[in-house]
Chains A and B, each alone.
Chain A
């Protein structure tokens, strides 16, 4: 797995320790990053924040840190929402990383586990949490053993401040959605739960869950050490800081790269030595979107990607080689997403398989004359109607193809044979776990 960490990253922050020292044990971690002073201060009491904790929350707010799990929700706003419930929080570290094309959380936990635990411990102490629960999928056994060894190492050094618990939910795509993860922790099957808004608290018995992506917590650990100005010194005004990106597809050196927010997409792809200039790239994973090579000069930020019909998601870039067919790939992804659905709502249960079948027909060039209009109608009917954002992500992906690649779409719709449709897929699809 060492090959996954590239040495030529632009701004090593999260992965600085392993890149400089080649190690990630506690001594190296403290030597490179230092020890956060706040962890030696008394933690917040149940209803009153310690002065240092108030300061940390303000710093996170000023840093403009957003969640790195996919939704880019402001981290500070999530914290404040949890505090406003007046229930005792439990910090949940979300390292589920259900996106098959994403490896950044497992790389981070494998090569900078102390930074993630620092972040979780800092937040737990800051908001007076009862304990910390780190969730990683049951099939990532190696990451789990690194994590347990790291926790034992901290425990031996007497540096664990909160009780830390490791849980291994099933490695299904949807369990990574935060309400589904909390549902699983409650003892449920791990399905998304309807919430009136993203800020609505997720209760855990008498407590409330504060769910943060593993990378988000690693950023918190660095903001606590260096402050918000330092954090903003990388990235661009609307999207500060660095982020991890999993680059794959038609590149010679696929892997996880730490980049500054706002780096042009072309420069990120260049880090992986593309075999040729890719025709298109999938940005944001299977709930993101395809952008054409003409848009590669765009900065990698949530807002710029949204404008292009894609999303940054959990930091995924898949370069599409000339031997692959964009529409066949999208049909594959839709088939996979349809299989990974929770099966709770109509839009997903009936809509996703129908759209997947439409796309498969389009890719084979066997579609009838009404195909495109049907596809547009179906994508329009599904968005925003599920209990979670699963169908919305799938629809965004399809709409990005219809919008950004009109000539490819119309050629396929006219039944022209596509040489690449049966070509090798650059996408890691994994085995659907559901139903």
Chain B
């Protein structure tokens, strides 16, 4: 018995397991990042949770998510069982293996990269541009989810489906909370000083 193929098979299997596991973990971390991002943008805070604490958590979680996405991509490329060239990890729909499902994964990755780089450089770029780029996260998350469901080896496992369900539910809930907050805040939002305006204290034109 020649031991070499066994080792090769084992290491390839390890890579395969690592790809699947890091993919699932990355999806969960990205979901957490998105949920925290939505809550941060809605300016949630309480006595025990200053606004910037959520923001900091959002950023840290995003950093860990990027690490797992990186691991996921790296193990995919290293895995010789299916050969996906490195170009397919950057340019969408260039993989010969399951072109569509790999391709949307690449789209999601590219969008995340744009969001991540603009956030690292946030200090130096126009806040409006940063904001516009950050909106890409809303597009990227569902694409990443679709990639996971369409591509994922484990997507049929009930506990994975359960996790996906929880992810979708939490993002929908957070979005609902933010929209509700936005709508219920409507009248004051029109008036920048609504919270502190007292009758008869304004002098001058158009009063």
- Chain A residues within 8 Å of B, Cβ to Cβ: 84-86, 90, 130-133, 151-152, 154-155, 160-167, 184-187, 191, 193-194, 196-197, 200-201, 204-207, 209, 344-345, 387
Q: Point out the residue from A152, A166, A205, A344 that lies within 8 Å of B188, measured CB to CB.
A: A205
A209's nearest neighbour on chain B, judged by CB, is: B192
A388's nearest neighbour on chain B, judged by CB, is: B52
Given known contacts A185-B196, A200-B127, what 20 new A-B pairs fall within 8 Å (CB)?
A130-B192, A131-B192, A131-B193, A131-B202, A162-B205, A163-B204, A163-B205, A163-B206, A164-B202, A164-B204, A186-B195, A187-B188, A187-B196, A191-B50, A194-B55, A204-B192, A205-B189, A205-B192, A344-B52, A387-B50
Question: Interface size for chain B: under 10, 10 to 19, 20 to 34, or 35 or more residues?
Answer: 20 to 34
Known A152-B203, A193-B51, A206-B189: A84·B196 in contact at CB below 8 Å: no
Residues in chain B near residue A162, CB distance under 8 A? 204-205
CB distance from A47 to the nearest CB of B (A): 13
Give the 10 A-B residue pairs with the shortest CB-CB distance, closest first.
Answer: A187-B195, A194-B52, A160-B204, A204-B192, A207-B192, A344-B50, A163-B204, A205-B192, A205-B189, A197-B123
Is B207 an interface residue when CB atoms closer than 8 A count as contact? yes
- Chain B residues within 8 Å of A, Cβ to Cβ: 50-53, 55-56, 122-123, 126-128, 188-197, 201-207
Flag if B50 contacts A345 (CB, 8 Å).
yes
Interface centre among B52, B189, B196, B204 (most CB of A within 10 A): B204
Flag if A205 contacts B202 (CB, 8 Å).
no
Flag if A165 contacts B127 (CB, 8 Å).
no
CA distance A278 to B145 in the complex (A): 69
CA distance A187 to B189 in the complex (A): 12
Residues in chain A near residue B123, CB distance under 8 A? 196-197
A387's nearest neighbour on chain B, judged by CB, is: B52
Residues in chain A near residue B193, CB distance under 8 A? 90, 131, 133, 165, 167, 185, 204
B129's nearest neighbour on chain A, judged by CB, is: A84
Residues in chain A near residue B127, CB distance under 8 A? 84-85, 200-201
Residues in chain A near residue B55, CB distance under 8 A? 194
CA distance A167 to B192 in the complex (A): 13
CA distance A194 to B53 in the complex (A): 9
Residues in chain B near residue A131, CB distance under 8 A? 192-193, 202, 204
CB distance from A293 to the nearest CB of B (A): 40
CB distance from A127 to the nearest CB of B (A): 14
CB distance from B25 to the nearest CB of A (A): 28
Residues in chain A near residue B51, CB distance under 8 A? 193-194
CB distance from A318 to the nearest CB of B (A): 32
Residues in chain A near residue B188, CB distance under 8 A? 187, 205
CA distance A161 to B204 in the complex (A): 6
Residues in chain B near residue A344, CB distance under 8 A? 50, 52-53
Residues in chain A near residue B196, CB distance under 8 A? 167, 184-185, 187
Interface centre among A86, A161, A194 (most CB of B within 10 A): A194
CB distance from A201 to the nearest CB of B (A): 6
CA distance A201 to B195 in the complex (A): 19
Residues in chain B near residue A166, CB distance under 8 A? 201
CB distance from A91 to the nearest CB of B (A): 11
Residues in chain B near residue A387, CB distance under 8 A? 50, 52
A-B contact pairs, 6 of them (CB 8 A): A160-B205, A163-B204, A163-B207, A165-B201, A345-B52, A387-B52
CB distance from B125 to the nearest CB of A (A): 10
CA distance A146 to B204 in the complex (A): 17
Flag if A205 contacts B190 (CB, 8 Å).
yes
Residues in chain A near residue B53, CB distance under 8 A? 344
Residues in chain A near residue B126, CB distance under 8 A? 84
Flag if A165 contacts B197 (CB, 8 Å).
yes
Residues in chain A near residue B50, CB distance under 8 A? 191, 344-345, 387
Residues in chain B near residue A155, CB distance under 8 A? 203-204
A158's nearest neighbour on chain B, judged by CB, is: B205
Q: Point out the residue from B52, B189, B202 that lies within 8 Å of A163, measured CB to CB.
A: B202
CB distance from B124 to the nearest CB of A (A): 8
Flag if A163 contacts B203 (CB, 8 Å).
yes
Flag if A161 contacts B197 (CB, 8 Å).
no
Residues in chain B near residue A84, CB distance under 8 A? 126-128
Residues in chain B near residue A191, CB distance under 8 A? 50
CB distance from A29 to the nearest CB of B (A): 17
B131's nearest neighbour on chain A, judged by CB, is: A85
CA distance A209 to B195 in the complex (A): 14
Flag if B52 contacts A193 (CB, 8 Å).
yes
CA distance A205 to B189 in the complex (A): 5
Flag if B202 contacts A206 (CB, 8 Å).
no
CA distance A201 to B202 in the complex (A): 25
CB distance from B49 to the nearest CB of A (A): 10
Interface centre among B50, B191, B194 (most CB of A within 10 A): B50
CA distance A366 to B122 in the complex (A): 47
Residues in chain A near residue B122, CB distance under 8 A? 196-197
CB distance from A209 to the nearest CB of B (A): 8
Flag if A205 contacts B206 (CB, 8 Å).
no
A203's nearest neighbour on chain B, judged by CB, is: B192
Residues in chain B near residue A133, CB distance under 8 A? 193
Residues in chain A near residue B191, CB distance under 8 A? 205
